[in-house]
Amino acid sequence: MSSGKEIGLTVRKEENFSDWYGQLVLKSGLADYGSTKGALILRPYGYSIWESIREIFDKYLKDTGHENGFLPVMIPEALLKKEEEHFKGFNSEVFWVTRAGTNNLSESLALRPTSETIAYWAFARWISSYRDLPLKINFWNSALRAEIKATKPLIRNSEFLWQEGHTVHESSEDAQKEVNLILGLYKKLIEEYLAIPVRQGLKSNQEKFVGAVSTASLESLMGDGRALQMATSHHLGQNFSKPFEIKYLGRDNTEQYAWQTSWGTSWRLIGAVAMIHGDNKGLILPPKIAPIQVIIIPIHKKADEGLVKEHTKYVLMDLEKANIRARIDERDEYTAGWKFNDWELRGVPLRINVGPKDIEKSKLEISRRDTREKITIGRNELVQTICSLLNQIQNDLYTKAKEFLSSNTTPAFDFETFKKIISEKGGFITARWCGRDFCETQIKEQTGADIRIIPEDDDSIMENIECVFCRQKPSVRVLFARAY
Amino acid sequence: MSSGKEIGLTVRKEENFSDWYGQLVLKSGLADYGSTKGALILRPYGYSIWESIREIFDKYLKDTGHENGFLPVMIPEALLKKEEEHFKGFNSEVFWVTRAGTNNLSESLALRPTSETIAYWAFARWISSYRDLPLKINFWNSALRAEIKATKPLIRNSEFLWQEGHTVHESSEDAQKEVNLILGLYKKLIEEYLAIPVRQGLKSNQEKFVGAVSTASLESLMGDGRALQMATSHHLGQNFSKPFEIKYLGRDNTEQYAWQTSWGTSWRLIGAVAMIHGDNKGLILPPKIAPIQVIIIPIHKKADEGLVKEHTKYVLMDLEKANIRARIDERDEYTAGWKFNDWELRGVPLRINVGPKDIEKSKLEISRRDTREKITIGRNELVQTICSLLNQIQNDLYTKAKEFLSSNTTPAFDFETFKKIISEKGGFITARWCGRDFCETQIKEQTGADIRIIPEDDDSIMENIECVFCRQKPSVRVLFARAY
């Protein structure tokens, strides 16, 4: 018996990456398109990955003294305009509420593109003394931005799930420590749980967050050689505390403007997991965030049904006792072959087939989703083997992605080479840059590549190496890429 | 040393309930007003209660086979209009997005007043066969409604946190089972965790959810004798599946319209906790949902500081080992007296004072927030006593609220008595009703009370008792009240 539905991917990753990714997101059940341009619905399978990510990062935040809160999605126009540069940066992509019922509103209300303005309007009331600092609040919500460019599920949507953290400190140094702390937590989340290696550094002046003093960013490389900004952490200095009048009475009894940070990451992390680890059979989920780590498939004829089904329950129980997220696929209306394809598409790390022969011989057949390797083990080795395989897969996915990142990071010492790499190979280009907006803009216009980060582990300014574009000195080393 | 800030409530509950409640919500740190009419910001203290509620109810949902998802907040006008009655019911309070950046949108987008329309638009694509049923998805999000009536923090806001569940079934009976299952889960949450007794029953035709076949509801009584709808569970029949074309191929191989339910509860549960259990000193939180169950206050002069602080850490460790949510108030800049008031205001169930004399005698002084009773115990009885006191408080709060509910539920056999009770005492009135819209409307217009529920445990239609308004027979027993 078969469902008749075409469930597999009909486009190959290496042939048309964009279509492959679109099919992957939809057919694996991660998400579905919404009913307006750029809108996305997160289906339960995708949402449960978001729940994993949220649970991990929320614990990090709480362990480091952050708390959660809730802010309204509608921000009055006057508030959004208060920090000029910030407003200019978001103005073109803000959704405006102008009517309630049949009444026109006297002031238009913006849907939050981000919550700095409304949060800091409130913080100003909550803070009066150094005793109220540091204030460290995070919001798990969604942000809304009318995307003018092409939209892409989970990567660029008119509304997206994210978290945005906002903190207030007594000094610039404290704010800087917070920026670094948070970037480190993002890195841990992304590398250890999502198995995605990142490059870390500062944004250029043109690419930093609108209204920030500086933006630290984590960048990864997707399967098609384009970069993706994974998470950012901004030092806001006193750029917002001044217009929003976030003042506090200092320990020295003088009134001072506070120092602030904001930082965020979004459901694009799920998109990155799909793009980096996925293959032509579907998703490949890192075990640590996979909603289902092991799928158990009963394989039987009518005569063996009772025996096999009972045995799958024992297998499940053993796995659950070891805190492994396992499930039996009990859908009698589908064939085993259909189920194999379905779970491969959904990226479940391990599959266990249970048939009458296996039971008779006290054996089990395990299939790895990532390598599609099959292993036969003794029934009594089950838990130990599964645990070690899950670890192995987690590590292998990271190693593979790390190798991809390394082999797609290429140095360019002159602009001809730069252009050649961008058009033929893509990926990250390490190159020298003089620090001027002019060269950055020219490179972007001529190649589509922009400065992703100025690595913090840079070997400092080198007097003797020239900017890849203008050939002037001195220069810093930066990472360029075409990006999503 | 004192903060100089006025932290206590300056209005008494029994004198001006509404102002008392407003102060309570703001001064306890639960919430703060937003910057537009009816908008509310949930501060970390309030949000952590919401997190408790979410965690408990989310587990109930997952244990009964529900999954979470995400839906966009913007719903195209055409979709919202698809089920006529539904649209009529919400039309006057819908916020409309009409502009993105500087461009006017070709179709106005509604901010979700509730998500039936967008969810079912998607469900229609996801469901094709009985194999896809039941579909049971929940959304933790916020809903937006432009409130024309007076707003009230946590009770009536232009945006509020809630969950909305949406399910699809093969039969009306299955849908009815779901409605009942969910109502039972809400009841358990509200009674066992929030210590709030509820009355359960069906809404009248006029009061049911717009678009539903029937609405089951849980109602409670607030401290001022007004009723509050705590949670509702709707049987939608095929009222939405027909306009949205949610069809499935049945087990009998014929195409059929599906049967649906939707249900929700919101952050108003936090408001109810405040209104029911709170007193003139502030909040009183039921231990099961209190973010902090025990606050430890070190009391010392300079000479004893080291000794006392060290001892509070041991007390904390003992409590934490027993999974009790405890915290030490280490703010040196505040006096012990100021701290007592602060934690009373915030409703922490138990306070432990630790001073040098207590340490010397191996004693501890414990204060109950609800009764303000002080108990001195031996240091070695700590964990056992705290556990039993937390249980005791949880039960006592429920019992007290239950007694309040009983003593404020009054029968009325004639309309004069009915009016007298409403104007003098308030609370629930049990009365007979003929079932006609006319009488229901007249009663509401003349008294402000409406039918809260038709109890399901009714002793059925009694031929011999007359409607409290029109004196006609037969009638059913219903609960009337003025409500929020």
Return the residue in A74, A118, A139 with the most chain B beta carbons within 10 A, the one to mutate for interface testing.
A74
Q: How far is Cα of residue B372 from the mean position of the Cα atoms in its chain?
A: 26
Among residues A254, A249, A212, the alpha carbon closest in space to that of A233 is found at A212
Q: What is the CATH number of domain B409-481?
A: 3.30.110.30
Asked if B98 is an interface residue toward chain A (Cβ–Cβ < 8 A), one would say yes
Q: Tell me how far apart the alpha carbons of residues B437 and B435 are, in angstroms, rounded to a whole number.
A: 7
Asked if A32 is an interface residue toward chain B (Cβ–Cβ < 8 A), one would say yes
For residue range A193-243, list pLDDT tens digits in order: 999 999 999 999 999 999 999 999 999 999 999 999 999 999 999 999 999
For CATH 3.40.50.800, the residue range(s) in chain B are 292-392
Q: Are B161 and B278 in contact (CB under 8 A)?
A: no
Q: Tell me how far apart the alpha carbons of residues B366 and B357 are, in angstroms, rounded to a whole number.
A: 14
Residue B248 region by backbone torsions, left for phi larger than 0, else alpha for psi between -120 and 50, else beta: beta
Return the residue in A26, A28, A36 with the most chain B beta carbons within 10 A, the one to mutate for interface testing.
A36
Instruction: Render A115-164 in DSSP notation, one character per residue.
Output: SHHHHHHHHHHH--BGGG-SEEEEEEEEEE----S--BTTTB-SEEEEEE
Residue A257 region by backbone torsions, left for phi larger than 0, else alpha for psi between -120 and 50, else beta: beta
3-state secondary structure of B55: helix
DSSP A289: G
For CATH 3.40.50.800, the residue range(s) in chain A are 292-391
Buried b (16+ CB within 10 A) or exposed e, B28-67: bbbbbbbbbebbbbbbbbbbbbbbbbeebbbebbeeeebb
Q: Are A375 and A350 in contact (CB under 8 A)?
A: no
For residue range A83-102, list pLDDT tens digits in order: 888 899 999 999 999 999 99
B32: which 2 tokens?
Answer: 């703060």
Beta bridge partner(s), residue B40: B33
Q: Tell me how far apart the alpha carbons of residues B3 and A306 are, in angstroms, rounded to a whole number.
A: 72
What is the H or E stretch that residue A181 is in? helix A172-188
Neighbours of B405 (CB within 10 A): 19
Q: Which residue's structure tokens are 């598409």?
A: A345
Neighbours of A285 (CB within 10 A): 30
- Contact list in A for residue B125 (CB cut-off 8 A) is 32
**Which of A47, A137, A159 has the CB atom closest to B73's CB atom?**
A159
Q: What is the pLDDT at residue A2? A: 39
Q: What is the pLDDT at residue A458? A: 59
How close does chain B come to A147, measured CA to CA in Å?
9
Asked if B94 is an interface residue toward chain A (Cβ–Cβ < 8 A), one would say yes
State the ipTM, two decimals. 0.95
Q: What is the mean pLDDT of residues A43-59?
A: 98
What tens-digit pLDDT sequence spans chain B (484 residues)? 334 455 799 999 999 999 999 999 999 999 999 999 899 999 999 999 999 999 999 999 999 999 999 999 999 999 999 988 889 999 999 999 999 999 999 999 999 999 999 999 999 999 999 999 999 999 999 999 997 778 999 999 999 999 999 999 999 999 999 999 999 999 999 999 999 999 999 999 999 999 999 999 999 999 999 999 999 999 999 999 999 999 999 999 999 999 999 999 999 999 999 999 999 999 999 999 999 999 999 999 989 999 999 999 999 999 999 999 999 999 988 999 999 999 999 999 999 999 999 999 999 999 999 999 999 999 999 999 999 999 999 999 999 999 999 999 999 999 999 999 999 999 999 999 999 999 999 999 999 999 999 997 655 555 578 999 999 988 889 999 999 9
Q: What is the pLDDT at residue B255? A: 97
Pairing of strands A103-111, A95-100: antiparallel
Q: What is the CATH number of domain B292-392?
A: 3.40.50.800
Is the pTM of the predicted complex or chain greater than 0.90?
yes
**The Cα angle at residue A377 between residues A376 and A383, in degrees rounded to 5:** 130
Amino acid code (one letter) for B306: G
Q: How far is Cα of residue A222 from the mean position of the Cα atoms in its chain?
A: 12
DSSP B192: I
Q: Looking at chain B, which residue has its C-alpha nearest residue A136?
A: B44
For CATH 3.30.110.30, the residue range(s) in chain B are 409-481
Q: What is the pLDDT at residue B458? A: 59
CB contact under 8 Å between B101 and A92, yes or no, is yes
The contacts of residue A119 (CB under 8 Å, 6+ apart) are: A71, A137, A139, A166
Q: Tell me how far apart the alpha carbons of residues A441 and A421 are, in angstroms, rounded to a whole number.
A: 18
How close does chain A come to B35, measured CA to CA in Å?
7
- Contact list in B for residue A142 (CB cut-off 8 A) is 70, 73
φ/ψ (deg, to 5) at B209: -60, 140
Among residues A25, A56, A20, A24, the alpha carbon closest in space to that of A41 is found at A25
CATH of B17-277, one of 3.40.50.300, 3.30.420.40, 3.30.930.10, 1.10.1050.10: 3.30.930.10
Please determine, for residue A459, whether its predicted confidence score (pLDDT) is greater than 60.
Answer: no
Going through B403-448 in order, the beta strands assigned E by DSSP cover: 409-411, 428-433
- Contact list in A for residue B51 (CB cut-off 8 A) is 68
φ/ψ (deg, to 5) at B265: -145, 165
Buried b (16+ CB within 10 A) or exposed e, B175-207: bbebbebbbebbbebbbebbbbbbbbbbbbeeb
The CATH architecture one would assign to domain A292-391 is 3-Layer(aba) Sandwich (3.40)
Asked if A253 is an interface residue toward chain B (Cβ–Cβ < 8 A), one would say no
Q: Tell me how far apart the alpha carbons of residues B194 and B111 are, in angstroms, rounded to a whole number.
A: 30
Which alpha helices (DSSP H) does B204-304 contain, by range? Answer: 268-277
Q: Tell me how far apart the alpha carbons of residues A298 and A336 are, in angstroms, rounded to a whole number.
A: 8
- Contact list in A for residue B93 (CB cut-off 8 A) is 100-101
For CATH 3.30.930.10, the residue range(s) in chain B are 17-277
3-state secondary structure of A471: coil
3-state secondary structure of A455: strand
Q: Tell me how far apart the alpha carbons of residues B338 and A323 are, in angstroms, rounded to a whole number.
A: 46
